[in-house]
């Protein structure tokens, strides 16, 4: 049972690394400037479509933004976001 739990944990970590790399790639495509949150969300969605050819819903884009914030891929200051990759 312990081996199964360890395998699931490793899979989860690998998926998180893959997601962080995908978001990092998209953030590298958008302009590196302080931007309001809704604009950076839209730019991330556009970059995602450009890089991966997939449409993101608004909810998915916000989830990616929050994930990026938790992983220090986006900085926040005075209500503006900076995609600091």
Cα-Cα end-to-end distance for the chain: 39
Give 81's strand partners: 35, 76
| Pairwise pLDDT comparison (61 vs 83), residue with the higher score | 61
> What does the pLDDT read at residue 84?
74
Domains of the chain: 2-82 (1.10.10)
> For 17-62, what is each residue's pLDDT tens digit?
999 999 999 999 899 999 999 999 999 999 999 999 999 999 999 9
Tell me the whole-structure pTM to 2 decimals: 0.82
Rounding to the nearest 10 degrees, give the CA dihedral for residues 19, 72, 74, 69.
Answer: 70
pLDDT band at 85 (very low <50, low <70, confident <90, very high): low
């Amino acid at each position: 049972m312990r081996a199964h739990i360890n395998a699931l944990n490793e899979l989860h970590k690998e998926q998180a690394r893959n997601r962080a790399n995908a978001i990092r790639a998209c953030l590298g495509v958008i302009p590196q400037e302080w931007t309001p949150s809704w604009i950076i969300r839209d730019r991330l969605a556009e970059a995602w479509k450009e890089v991966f050819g997939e449409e993101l819903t608004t909810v998915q884009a916000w989830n990616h933004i929050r994930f990026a914030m938790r992983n220090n891929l986006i900085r926040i200051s005075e209500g503006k976001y900076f995609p600091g990759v």
